[in-house]
Structure 1
């Protein structure tokens, strides 16, 4: 791809970068990541090296754009939720539309011709793209035109339109608002939107963050949540015990697992107070024996009929979370499954063995593994077709709609390397199949 960004400075102007630094949550996140005002600010990157916006950054860009150009006209959560579904907040995403085969680009997956039309015919000129449609990859520019399109849809044909109309029209065009092809997008949007609290709700939680740090250890946020409390809980020093994270029944299951029992006894653990391992940065993680045991228990108790292999789940965990209890980046838990996806599995697919009442539930290894396994099961038969292991692994990481067979190599190699760590176990002859 010709367009490439390494720093925020590469894709925003000085005014917008200053505006980002003035957002308290962004400033806190950047300083915590080691950024220095006055120096170039690094963009976050996913495991494949693609630049993306954190939830904090996405909400900040949206708030700035709406405050400047669409005050009181657009709900920022709508913009954020659409970006979450359309691009997973990746800056450089390009996708071909099913009907016209034209490319949509960037955070909001805007058609370049739509952006030109909004600019030339409707007068949306706060961000220009004359001379280079590559400017649409810039976050402020892309969000601006996405918001402008939402604003136009909200009063389509001079009729005040419903939220459902706007969202489904954004995905499929005004002629497909009632078509079944946009219904699932609407349902997914409602779940994604829950990840972005209203402005009033956010302000309340910001106050709580400032005044209640002592209580932060027990508070966590989901993928998509514009709340920094989860970062506090992840970094809190001190001991983390298995017994405080999982149920008594699951602790009994772990003690009854022969490999785990041997490992725990060797490290002088005691029932009722089993310490989790921590790395050099004091982050709690599961040993491979513990991870394998959690996967074994989940499959044996709840998914026996699916004939899935626990080694597959372990390898996926290695790729997406490196076995860290809180996950990596904005992928929560050992299976790195977002709260919105887990909640959809819970509500729509009927996986109810574990309650899912808040994002912090996904920091229970058994809960994360359960919903991760359910998601793998669903992906393996996506759109009622038996899928290849390569498809399932990539779809788990980037979403089934974003799978590109030409881009599987890096992820698949990482997966196979991780899988080998479990296949080498004594008596384990699993192959690289999912089911």
Structure 2
């Protein structure tokens, strides 16, 4: 293969996004490139195309903003590319042990890209039987970032930077082996050589209050030109119309100056979008009234579970995917095998839609309540949702159960029936 121009290896919208990066535009303009004409790729002394550090920073930043907002740092992607491939688009390494080629900027294998796409739901960029697709910079970086995201919560545990980087190099079994230590040390040195990464955005300054417990909805937002910041980019027009009908949501949105077609998510001090309690409960009420009115699931219960799983962060936290922590494989099972088809789940990104996440959360809750064909107590259902069906203990002073009751009090005071299940 041979790439001469950026147009040979990126889609038009990706090239447009690169021109929109101030540092890239300056670098390209200074080199004599012109918007509307083909842009030359840089070449090393051997004539091989590579990305400059400025271009690499831009590609990583665009991929993270589009697909992994607030879930990872672009610097990690850039540093791994720096020491793994020298940012060469056509880099190729043969893994003798695995008997497969590692390709492109992030040294991604075809087998891993196919697994990420088909089984883990990362389908924003195409993975085909043609391995050469991985030489395209945005495709390669997308799958590399997806793998880093999975490694960051491998086996359900939040992992350290060292574990993630070393596992990326040698696999999870080699994350603590001496064979990957040198790679991590070079990674740390590479991070120091990266261009400065300004951690700011234009607009209204963020609130400096820690956490989201006392934050009011949408009172400290900044318009960063990122679709993830707005309700309307995540949610269908019909769902938005229903939210506007909620008295509490309408009151809050009106107070904070929101307008139809451009409603902002609340952001914490780290720029992570989250829902207010009024918004979470309103979404839960809409989902229940549409799809689960006969099951009798309570909106307050769904809202409390969302808060426990994700702290109400739109994209989730740690190993939790989306508001309800329902991962792609579980949602796909609920959709395909159990017939919960109120919302489509085509990729993992669908679960960053608050309505989709709460819908599949309610679906899973409904399944848990009738699993094995017997009535379950409220506590056993909650424990099964948060810990997994195999980890229910039902102890009277169980810390998870007590935390759930405390969280539930923020949404609704309920009268518990001894031995009964108030969820269903």
TM-score by length of 1: 0.49
Counterpart pick for 1:313 among 302, 307, 315 = 302
Counterpart pick for 1:396 among 372, 385, 392 = 385
Q: Does 1:195 align with 2:120?
A: yes
Q: CA RMSD in A?
A: 4.5
How far off its partner does 1:291 sit? 0.2
Note the residue ranges of structure 1 that are not aligned, 5 or more in a row: 1-27, 34-65, 79-189
Note the residue ranges of structure 2 that are not aligned, 5 or more in a row: 1-70, 77-94, 101-108, 154-163, 165-198, 202-223
Are the equivalent residues in 2 in contact too, given 1:278–1:284 (CA < 8 A)? yes
Please give the alpha-carbon distance, in whole angstroms, between the structure 1 residues aligned to 2:262 and 2:200.
19
How far off its partner does 1:226 sit? 6.4
How far off its partner does 1:366 sit? 0.3
Please give the alpha-carbon distance, in whole angstroms, between the structure 1 residues aligned to 2:270 and 2:252.
23
In structure 2, do the counterparts of structure 1 residues 226 and 67 end up closer, same or farther at CA, with 3 Å as the change threshold?
farther
Please give the alpha-carbon distance, in whole angstroms, between the structure 2 residues aligned to 1:205 and 1:377.
41
In structure 2, do the counterparts of structure 1 residues 191 and 266 end up closer, same or farther at CA, with 3 Å as the change threshold?
same
Report what 1:326 is aligned to: 315
Please give the alpha-carbon distance, in whole angstroms, between the structure 2 residues aligned to 1:295 and 1:275.
19
Please give the alpha-carbon distance, in whole angstroms, between the structure 1 residues aligned to 2:338 and 2:422.
23
Are the equivalent residues in 2 in contact too, given 1:196–1:225 (CA < 8 A)? no
Report what 1:358 is aligned to: 347
How far off its partner does 1:397 sit? 2.0
Are the equivalent residues in 1 in contact too, given 2:379–2:401 (CA < 8 A)? yes
Report what 1:348 is aligned to: 337
Report what 1:281 is aligned to: 270
Would you tell me which structure has more helix in proportion to its own residues? 1
Paired residues, what number? 251
Report what 2:280 is aligned to: 291
Please give the alpha-carbon distance, in whole angstroms, between the structure 1 residues aligned to 2:279 and 2:396.
32
Report what 1:300 is aligned to: 289
Are the equivalent residues in 1 in contact too, given 2:121–2:347 (CA < 8 A)? no
The one-character-per-residue Cα deviations of 1:114-155 (angstroms, maximum 9, x if unpaired) are: xxxxxxxxxxxxxxxxxxxxxxxxxxxxxxxxxxxxxxxxxx
Report what 1:248 is aligned to: 237
Q: Does 1:374 align with 2:351?
A: no
The 5 A counterparts of 1:3-402 are 194-195=119-120, 225=150, 238=224, 240-402=229-391
SS of the aligned residue for 1:381 comes to: helix
TM-score by length of 2: 0.50
